[in-house]
Structure 1
Amino acid sequence: MNINRRGFISLGAASVAALGLAACGNDATTPGTETSTGATNGGGSGAGGKVGVSMPTQTSERWIADGDAVKSQLEEAGFEVDLQFANDDIPTQSQQVDQMITQGVKVLIIAAIDGTALAPQLDAAAAAGIKVISYDRLIRDSENVDFYVSFDNFKVGVAQGQSLIDGLAERFSSENPANIELFAGSLDDNNAHFFFNGAMSVLQPKIDSGEFVVPSGQTTIEQATILRWQQEAAQKRMEDLLTANYGDKKLHGALSAYDGLSRGIITALENNGYSGETFPIVTGQDAEIASVKLINDGIQYSTIFKDTRLLAEQAVKAAVALLEGNEPEANDTETYDNGVKVVPSYLLDVTTVTKDNVTEALVDTGYWTQEQVDSGVA
């Protein structure tokens, strides 16, 4: 994906002036490789020091966009950047972070594959005086997490659940009860729990009242989880659910925590003969271009747009503050307890995207072009 086709949001002019920043080009990474070493000064001087950026995978366009956005904005801020992707492999991410520490980075920005697996690396970072920013996925069970930047993940789940409710009311108002199934993210991702709990906060009352029914009976996150958020695993689970529970009934909706899962669910539904105006309501998250096209075509019902350009901006601001010996600006100091301490956090808001507001939310903001939305190709 050519991230340069998006208009990145840079740090404000005052911050740029204060830091004496120099703009530089953005090296887009290439999907499909296990790791991508972005150790480079780019067009910046690297005067701010070296920052290690650890992203979980390149199999999701969302994480490619995050990695490139963080790298681009850090380089604009005068940092040297080592960007690594871990291919959803925990030992690989651990090794990459170890290497960053050995190379003398000043700050680590980490989107963890498993939020509980990096304690030794964080201990080593603390011993070396390296600050740690947990990026989007909260790193757990360690006191050595200095700051957390993310979206309001409980609200993400609420928005997904409410979108499912709205879509069912729009498309299946005469169906009572409506049959739904639940798909959650990977249990080792702390965010998956926030997403699921947020969604269930609005869906559970509907289930309790009998307005919604889950024919499979699989209503806990442990039953609904999809390891590593894999599209193929979501497709297989949906196929199994349809075979076991829908011989004499129709599915009306599926809660999906992520666009990749959504596309797997949709494939399974299409393979089982679902189509047209009675296609089940399927939610999603991350505004991946393939799913945005499905939404624009009236197949996937919705996605939750999390503007990763803004998240990258907050990560850079936090890195600058920590290196200057200051506390980064936080707007939440109560919610994100990682099991050892409450991590000060900056949370961003999100937007629910349906066919009605694709242009306003994604094209007008420069996140995707109309050509990309029409083609489904970034």
Structure 2
Amino acid sequence: MKKIFALCLASVMLMGTLAGCSSSSDSSSTTTEAATTTTTAAATTEETLLVGVAMPTKDLQRWVQDGENMQAELEAAGYTVDLQYAANDIPTQVSQIQNMIANGAGALVIASIDGSALGTVMAEAEEAGIPVIAYDRLIMDSAAVTYYATFDNWDVGVKQGEYLVEALGLATATEPVNMEFITGDPGDNNINFFFDGAISVLQEYIDSGIIQTPSGQTEKTAVATANWATDEAQSRFETILSSYYSDGTQLDAVLASNDSTALGVANALAANYTGTYPIITGQDCDIANVPNLVSGLQAMSVFKDTRDLAAATVDMVTAIMEGSEPPVNDTATYDNGTGIIPSYLCEPIACDLNNIEEVLIDSGYYTADQVGLN
């Protein structure tokens, strides 16, 4: 009996030990599962709050400002921001966007280097279900583009054209004026809106012969500037001046689509032109050009407040993240080859000496010292 009792007691103790082991194992498994669930939830939240922002270059001031404004606005709204600049190199921008997709971005904001060169990576974004906001430059031929945030780019050109008509007195002119043209990178779809908007105002004067172009360079392909580069613009205009104006022919005006090209024109004039200084247009109110606006070396620039565009884009991102409809105010203008892209257009403002203080200083965009008015 004693042996039987001892065997039973040993069996009970062994069962208890096994039960204890089983309980410990279950508890450990449950804890691990809970930890995994928590980690997964945290990762999902982090991914959902990540916004990828792809900018083309730091070479132009406006893109630096756009990127900084965008990052500040998005971070203030609670998002993690992956802001990348691609040094105007398309493969670099593609790689940057691919990394944003791989890192689980909940939305992409892309200012493309070439709006027609992102087809493959846009397909990857679409496959991953990531909404894409084309920023300022429309991405072409891709159904992955969900929305477009930009300024009214046609109106930019219209404002430049209207300024030239008034400044040159074209409405009542009886004698011809000499005007040259320069626009931006042929891979930037915006040049079509800038240039065509201006020509829509100037065309009647071109047709009547009031506007003449001694160089004969009037088509967009002939007046384009790779990467909107100042040195490229300067080189082209040095050739134009030496070829068509060295005999004393008066250059009355230059329709320059933006400030970096306008700066190139001004540099070429400073080195190669002795006639009456022409009227030069521009766009962006870059800090490098503002002294020229103040001194009269550049007549006007179209101001595009990137703070407004950043704020509008953040509103669109927030709506996308929350599953609601982003704010848009144009559903008719911008067709990227796959259909009309719903867009939010900010308003540009013509800026010259008459309103430079109000537009650039009173708004807090620049200080008086930066503008050179102190």
Give the corresponding residue for 1:10: none
Match of 2:116, SS? coil
Give the corresponding residue for 1:238: 237
How many Å apart are 1:174 and its aligned residue? 7.9
Give the corresponding residue for 1:32: none
Contact 2:330–2:342 at 8 Å: present in 1 too? Answer: yes
Give the corresponding residue for 1:149: 149
Corresponding letter in the other structure for 1:136:
D
Match of 1:182, SS? strand
Structure 2 stretches lacking a partner, 5+ long: 1-44
Paired positions, count:
328
Corresponding letter in the other structure for 1:100:
M
1:90 aligns with 2:90: yes
Give the corresponding residue for 1:211: 210
Match of 1:301, SS? coil
Q: Deviations over 1:287-326 (max 9, x none)?
A: 1012111101111100000000000011110011111112
Give the corresponding residue for 1:314: 312
How many Å apart are 1:274 and its aligned residue? 3.5
Percent identity over paired residues: 45
Give the corresponding residue for 2:284: 286
Q: Deviations over 1:181-224 (max 9, x none)?
A: 00011111010111010010011111111111111111110111
How many Å apart are 1:126 and its aligned residue? 1.4
Contact 2:173–2:210 at 8 Å: present in 1 too? Answer: no
Structure 1 stretches lacking a partner, 5+ long: 1-44
Which segments of structure 1 move beyond 3 Å, counting only runs of 4 or more?
A: 45-48
**Partner Cα distance (1:167, 1:90) in 2:** 40
Residues 244 and 357 of structure 1: is their aligned pair in 2 closer, same or farther, counting only changes over 3 Å? same
Corresponding letter in the other structure for 1:244:
S
Give the corresponding residue for 1:228: 227
State which of 326, 331, 334 in structure 2 corresponds to 1:336: 334
**Partner Cα distance (2:220, 2:360) in 1:** 30
Contact 2:138–2:190 at 8 Å: present in 1 too? Answer: yes
Corresponding letter in the other structure for 1:237:
R
**Partner Cα distance (2:251, 2:196) in 1:** 22
How many Å apart are 1:175 and its aligned residue? 8.3
**Partner Cα distance (2:334, 2:216) in 1:** 30
Corresponding letter in the other structure for 2:350:
T
Corresponding letter in the other structure for 2:202:
L
Corresponding letter in the other structure for 1:69:
N
TM-score by length of 2: 0.85
Contact 2:185–2:228 at 8 Å: present in 1 too? Answer: yes
TM-score by length of 1: 0.84
Residues 174 and 153 of structure 1: is their aligned pair in 2 closer, same or farther, counting only changes over 3 Å? closer
Q: Deviations over 1:29-51 (max 9, x none)?
A: xxxxxxxxxxxxxxxx9696100
Corresponding letter in the other structure for 1:290:
A
Give the corresponding residue for 2:131: 131
**Partner Cα distance (2:120, 2:310) in 1:** 26
Report the more deviating stretch, 87-96 or 238-247. Answer: 238-247
- Structure with larger Rg: 2
Q: Deviations over 1:111-137 (max 9, x none)?
A: 000001111111111111211000000
Q: 1:109-124 residue pairs with structure 2 within 5 A?
A: 109-124=109-124
Q: Deviations over 1:348-368 (max 9, x none)?
A: 111100111110111000001
How many Å apart are 1:106 and its aligned residue? 0.5
Corresponding letter in the other structure for 2:347:
D
**Partner Cα distance (1:48, 1:84) in 2:** 19
How many Å apart are 1:236 and its aligned residue? 0.7
How many Å apart are 1:347 and its aligned residue? 0.5
Give the corresponding residue for 2:364: 366
**Partner Cα distance (1:166, 1:271) in 2:** 28
Give the corresponding residue for 1:346: 344
Contact 1:48–1:78 at 8 Å: present in 2 too? Answer: no
Give the corresponding residue for 2:161: 161
**Partner Cα distance (1:342, 1:174) in 2:** 40
**Partner Cα distance (1:221, 1:55) in 2:** 25
State which of 332, 336, 355 in structure 2 corresponds to 1:357: 355
Contact 1:46–1:78 at 8 Å: present in 2 too? Answer: no
Contact 1:234–1:264 at 8 Å: present in 2 too? Answer: yes
**Partner Cα distance (2:229, 2:297) in 1:** 20
Residues 193 and 314 of structure 1: is their aligned pair in 2 closer, same or farther, counting only changes over 3 Å? same
Match of 2:344, SS? strand
**Partner Cα distance (2:175, 2:263) in 1:** 26
Contact 1:176–1:212 at 8 Å: present in 2 too? Answer: no
More helix per residue = 2
